[in-house]
Each structure stands twice: as structure tokens, then as C-alpha cells.
Amino acid sequence: MAGLLTFVSARGGAAAQRDAVADALGLLRHRGPDDERIVADDDVIFGAEHLTVAETRTTQPVTYPPAGVTAGRYMIVLDGAILNAAELRAELEEDRRAEFGAGSDAEVILAAYHHWGPGAVSRLRGMFAFVIWDSSARRAFGARDPFGLKPLFQLQTPQGVYLASEKKALLPFTQEEKSVDTKRLQYYLTMQYVPEPGTMHPEVRRLGAGETFVYTPGGPLANRRYNQLHFRPGPVDEEAVVRRIADALRESVHAHMQADAEVGAFLSSGIDSTAIVALAAEKDPNLRTFTVGYDAAGPGAQYSEIDIAEQSARALGVPLTATVVTAADFMRALPRIIWHLDDPVADPALVPLFFLAERAARDVTVVLGGDGADELFGGYPIYREPLSLSGVSHLPGSMQRGLRAVSRVIPQGVKGKSFLERGTTPIEERYYGNARIFTDEEKAALLRHYEPDVRHTDITGPVFKEAGALDDVTTMQYIDLYTWLRGDILVKADRMTMAHSLELRTPFLDRAVFDVAAGLPSELKVPPRSQETKAALRRALAGVVPEPIVHRKKLGFPVPIRPWLRGEMYDWAHGLLDTSGADDLLDLDVVRGLLRGHRKKEADHSRKIWTVLVFCVWHAVFVTGTMRPSFTGAPLEEVEPFQATEW
């Protein structure tokens, strides 16, 4: 694992920027605190902050071949872990007589690239973002894994191309570091994240998940998709597919546990993380697990999952360490959290995840998580919407238009209005992910410079076209796979764990697991005669996961911002609105009104308020510079760890 920063000069003389690149690389030290190395020549500067998770410690950048007349032709910096590196190495040694030095994952990628060309990236299993320099061809090549587990940011300037694991390392090289992309701001206010490939800084973009890039000095930076994840639902043998799910997930979990450093796991109340822990415990019965929650005596008690996680740990026989987070912790740490994020993400769950990762990193270097199960197996409650709306959505167009007209005259808040509106709206218009924060009308009132032509369909429209003739449930999964998962779930997962030099691995997001999930028909995900979700996955895990968890309703990692914004956070929220400097972009009086109404319980405006507050902190950290990230104060309260064998 590494935090990487590279510069490929457009016209030579790259070494002159070595000191500037070294300073910027230091901003990524949290991603790799074990070692730092920079290599510079006339064409390129390659820098890496290294996190050691393998016994074979290989300092990056890595070069290849190790010997011969072309020794050192290629150089690479890699952030990630290649799970099939040993198999690829054996194949290269046998078929191509490839020679290796230390045999690190990075060296295997270089050998594969040398012998198989750019197509080698399609053979990599794992999570990765890397940059290769071919000194003979004077060409840079790089890629991200198909799911987008590891990030790679790009900045092209007249001087050349910069690439980095996090955007903050590129900002010193931008021309307009303090500018804000107002188009992306509109997307954020709707979707609660900034969708890739853009960022909130107009000059910086992300290499898309499942994409490669090629850059020849002085030429264009060319990104190309090399992998497209496709759902292909169809008839299946239910018993056989259930066995395949269990087998694929078990193999993936065990493969993701490959590390010389100690491996732990996150454990919440749901089936996803519990399944990962149960399967991992087959290989390591003493697996350390970690959970997070809220004070049992405070307003957040009903949101805490600690009790359920303890029951699961007890049943599985694994030790669990629980950490309690307070409203004060949220307020204290938010600036640092936003600094790690680079762009605003208004998912409240990322804050407890930050503290969960901080605690886990004291004991382990690698941790397993359950991210991705909902997108692959149909776990979000909203995936049941096509079934609930079918009585209206399947009516002839003329009848739908009539019902739509009726919905317009029904007063806001009256039961049935939303049902008629959504049932008569095509899925391409009504669905844009799990988070739907501000409507277009609300954004028009909130934004100082509202652009009516900027809509969520700019992002989702092309994805809907790619989805083609999929059924509505699978279409929604596809939208989330290419938007929500990449823009929210995996961003918070990577940044909140790497903030503490903790490597997160996600066994659900593995190509073998996806291949099984991709073929499931919708009725094996959200059965029409049940309120259950992830039905096939639940069947596959019966006997693996404790019985009470198998059919537990999804809680979604709840966070008590609703009561906190009415109490402990109320004055703090007002203070942020007053001091962020974001009022040149937003009419913050609108938000002050939402905050007052929320406190009076006129309506639940917590998600809207939180979305603006996160942007205000981002603006104060990255634009005005009036807020400096820090993490001071007493450690979080920690529930006494237990060994499950004691129960």
C-alpha cells in the first residue's frame, strides 16, 4: 500500500520540481508512514509513502526488469494489493521465463505489463491504482481497479501531468487552488457527493474506476475504460446459485486475509459485516473485531449498534472492541475528516467510521469490511420501490398522465401525493441513488448562482443508457454501482481508513463474487411476496451467520444527527454557517431557517442541514483557509474489550 504522487514532464527538466513534489508528497504520509522515497530524472518524478503489510518489504518506486540490457526500463508506484500476484508470477515465470527480484505485487504488475502489454491490467485481481513509466517508449500508463477501491487523481498543466492518491497533493500545482466548480456543487447538493470523474476543483479530475490512462510527454492525457461491470440476470438453479454465493464469498474472504501484518474486521449489526467476520473466523478464530456506537444514556442510544455487534461476536466466538462516539467528537474531528476526504461527502456515517478506523489501527494494519454487498445483492430498501409502484407505473400512459395531474393538486405532505408522483415518473427521472437531498426547486432558492440546466440526469443519464433493458431493480443496482458506490461508499471507506494508515479490504467487491451476483434475477434479491432484501445472500449465509442476524432488517449504520442538531450541535451549526465564508455561493439564511424549523420539530431537515454544514467546513478548509484541521483532545471513550470465550 502507498500514497503516490508522480509528475511526468511535458518538456523535460522534471528534476527541477523535485523539492515541490517532495513537499506535496508529505501531505500523503498518513497513507504510508513506514517509508518514503522519491526518484527523479529529466522526464519524471515518482514518489511514494509506503505502508508495510507484507513480510517482503519492497521500497517503492519499483523498477523492472531486475537485470539485463533493459534493466530498470519500467518504473511503478502502486497503491493497493494484488490478490493473484503469486499466480501471475508463476505463469510469467513458466510461459515467458520472466525474472523477478523481490517479487512484490508492484514488480508482478511491471512484468505483466512488459510481457502482456496494457491488457495485463484486466488480469489483476484486487484493489489498485498505479502509474508506470516506460523510459524506453517515454510513455506513462496507469489504471484503477474495476470497482474503484483505490483512487487516482489527475492534473494536466502546460508543464506536464501530475497524478496522486489524494487531491490535496495536487492542489499546490493548480492555477486556481481556491476556485469552486459550481456545477459540481449542484450535483453535490442533490446526491451528497461529487460524482466522478469531476472534483470540486475544476482543474483536477479522477481517473474513473475500471479505466486506464496513457500519456506521452507533450501529448494529450487519454483515459479509456478497460472494464465494464455488467449485470446479466436470468433463470438460475436456486440451490446451485446459493451454494456458489457461499463458496465465492468464502474464497474471497480467505484470499483477502493474505497479509503478514495482523488482520482484523469491522463488525456492525448487519448481515454483511457479520458474514465477513464469520468466514474470516474460520481461518483465524482469534480474529480481532471492532465496532462503534453511541452513548446508551444519551439521545443517540437508539442509533447504536454496539449491543447487536456484541451478540454477534459472542455467537461467533471472536473478541470485539467497541468505541463510543459523542456529538462533541463529531464537532471536534469534522475539519480533519473533511481534509482527508478532499471533496465534501455528506454521508454522516463516515464520521463514526473515522473513529472506528482510528481504534482498529492501534491493533491491526489490515481490516476487512462488508462494503458492496447491497449494490451486488440488492440490499437497499429502495430497491423494493419498483414493486410498490407497479400498480401505477404499469398503467397505460394516458392514465399515468391523468394521475400525475391529480398529484399536482394534492397539497404537499398529504398521503398519496408522493406515491402518485413517483409512480408516474419514469425511473430514469426519479432514481439517482440512495441519497436525495435538495430538490431542484430547493437548490434554486439556496444557490446564489443556480443553473437550471444542471441536473442529476447529467450523471445518471449515460449510466441508464448503458443499463439497457435490465429490469428496474437491477437497473437501480447498476446506477448505484457506477455512482453511489464510487462517489460515496468507497470514498469514505478509503479516506477514513487510510487517515489512520489502516488498509481496508472489501471481499464482496471481488470479481468472482460479482460474477455470481451479476446473474441473479430480481426475485432472488427482492422477493415480490416478502419485505426482505438480499434474499439469495441471506439463504447462502444461513448456517454461517447467527440466525438472528440472517433476517435482520438493514439499519444502514444510523447516525444521530437528527437529535444532535436539535440539541448539542445546534449552536455549533449556527457558528459554522456564520464563519465558513460560503455565503458567496449559498444563501445561508435559507439554511438558518431550516435549522430553526428542525429544532422546533416542524420537519426533519437534518440531512439537508448536514449536507450544507459539510460543505461549509470544506469551504473553510480548502477555499478560505479559515479552518485548520486538527485532532486534539481526549481519546474517545472505549468500551472494555472482551474475549468472546469469557461469555
Q: How many CB atoms lie within 10 A of CB 550?
A: 18
Buried b (16+ CB within 10 A) or exposed e, 238-265: eeebbebbbebbbebbebbbbbeeebbb
Q: Could you tell me which residues are beta bridge partners of residue 96?
A: none
Phi-psi group of 639: left, alpha or beta (phi > 0 → left; psi -120 to 50 → alpha; rest → beta)? beta
Integer-rounded Cα radius of gyration of the chain: 25
What angle is formed at CA 120 by the lines to CA 216 and CA 126, rounded to 5 degrees? 110
The closest of 220, 222, 176 to 201, measured between CA atoms, is: 176
Is residue 327 within a helix (H) or strand (E), and if so which, with residue range? helix 327-341
Describe the strand order of the beta sheet including 288-293 as a list of residue ranges. 503-505, 366-368, 263-266, 288-293, 320-324, 637-642
Distance CA 270, CA 313 (A): 12
In this structure, the chain runs to a length of: 647
Q: Which residues have a Cβ under 8 Å from the Cβ of 258 and sit 6 or more positions away?
A: 83
* 273: phi then psi, degrees, rounded to nearest 5: -70, -35
What is the residue type of 132? I
Residues 367 and 361: their CA atoms lie apart, in Å, by 9
Neighbour tally for 442: CB within 10 Å = 15
Q: Do the Cβ atoms of 363 and 320 come closer than 8 Å?
A: no
Q: Is 105 known as a binding-site position? A: yes
The binding site for L-glutamine comprises 105
The binding site for ATP comprises 292
The binding site comprises 105, 292
